[in-house]
Amino acid sequence: MKKLISLTKVLIFCGILAGSICGITIALLPRIPDFYKIYVFRRKSMITKREFDTLVLLTETKEVVSQKDMAERLKISAEAVNKTVKELTEKNYCKNGQITQAGLDALEPYRVKRAVFVAAGFGSRMVPITLNTPKPLVRVNGTRIIDSLLDAVVEAGIPEIVIVRGYLGEQFDQLLYKYPNIRFVENTIYNEANHISSALCVRYLLQNAYVLEADLLLRNKKLIRKYEYETNFLSIPVESTDDWCFATDHNGVITEEKVGGTDCHQMVGISYCSEADGIKLANDLNEVYLSQGGKERYWEQVPLVYKKENYQVHVRACIAEDITEIDTFNELKAIDNRYVTG
């Protein structure tokens, strides 16, 4: 046991080292040993996705929820609700239409531990406004873009907030006045590599974690949740798009990431990584980064393209009105007329 504790301390130190000087020591950091994974990965309580969705619904209200309301909100048949509630009652996870302590305990392995923000880039398409201000800190109708995401994270009760910063990084310190528990990680090579370098800086912090592009204007705070069942990417079902999108199978598992498509899911820049996938991703990010051309990759291409065989990533649907992605200065002016001059 003492040896295990010592090993854990060493590996935690390596994770901190990676976050603080990621641009220098990436190639030197060790691969997580398989035997360590056995100790770190907690065995999840065996609940189905439908049981999970039902239990989460019960946590969202103190009042008794009728099975009719459950069916409408979960978008399943009344018969399926009746069966699920019966199974949960037999397991003592709910009683008389309310979740029990055992039910809360069953959800605990699915609790989101942290939100990781990728905020190191320059935002060149937003020039001139980003010449003096990092894009996530640009104000839209008086509010910083990143605040819409941070507020949702805080309201969801997610305990840890990590921001990977680079360009004009010191300006992010202003966030501490409103969000004092933010932890900053410096990406010293943000101008030499794509944002895979930012993910690499926090590769030991991706378990049970949201990964968010910090320049999204979030309209629907409910998209950031206290619990997540599986690794997923938030996306908008569309008939066609010229943007980055996902093709999926009939189970909603992503089969392809591409630019442009029809009858697909348009990517919006918010994802969640489960505990097991976070452990794998720590190694796979490093391996892809060190491969030929690896510095030019996007971090999400690791689980979706280059190490696709190691993951089963689902889509989580939202609608276009839920999130606004401001890519250019002209799009910013269209939303906030204060940037329109003469």
In a domain, 209, yes or no: yes
The terminus-to-terminus CA distance of the chain in angstroms comes to 70
Enclosing domain of residue 329: 2-36+111-339
Residue 101 lies in a domain: yes
Task: Give the tokens for residue 67.
Answer: 């099975």
152 lies in the same domain as 199? yes
Do 198 and 78 fall within a single domain? no
Q: What is the pLDDT of residues 142-181, one digit of tens each?
A: 999 999 999 999 999 999 999 999 999 999 999 999 999 9
How many Cα atoms are found within 13 Å in the side-chain-facing hemisphere of 48? Answer: 10
Q: Do 147 and 253 reside in the same domain of the chain?
A: yes
Same domain, 142 and 204: yes
Claim to verify: residue 63 and residue 150 sit in the same structural domain: no
| Domain membership flag for residue 188 | yes
A 10 A CB-CB count for 166 gives: 24
pLDDT band at 68 (very low <50, low <70, confident <90, very high): confident
What pLDDT, on the 0 to 100 scale, is given for residue 97?
84
Convert the pLDDT of each residue in 241-264 to its tens digit.
999 999 999 999 999 999 999 999
Residue 43 lies in a domain: no
CATH (domain of 285) = 3.90.550.10
Identify the weakest region by mean pLDDT among 17-31, 68-82, 104-118, 271-285. 17-31
Asked if 204 contacts 282 with a C-beta cutoff of 8 angstroms, the reply is yes
Q: Closest Cα partner for 167 from 140, 147, 191?
A: 191
What proportion of the chain, given as a percentage, has pLDDT over 90?
A: 70
Does 123 share its domain with 96? no
Q: Which of 73, 91, 109 is the last residue of a domain?
A: 109
Domain C-terminal end among 87, 109, 131: 109
- For residue 63, pLDDT over 80 is answered with no
What is the pLDDT confidence band of residue 19, given thresholds at 50, 70 and 90? very low
Q: Is residue 41 part of a domain?
A: no
Residue 34 reports pLDDT greater than 80 = no
* Residue whose token pair is 């037999």: 90
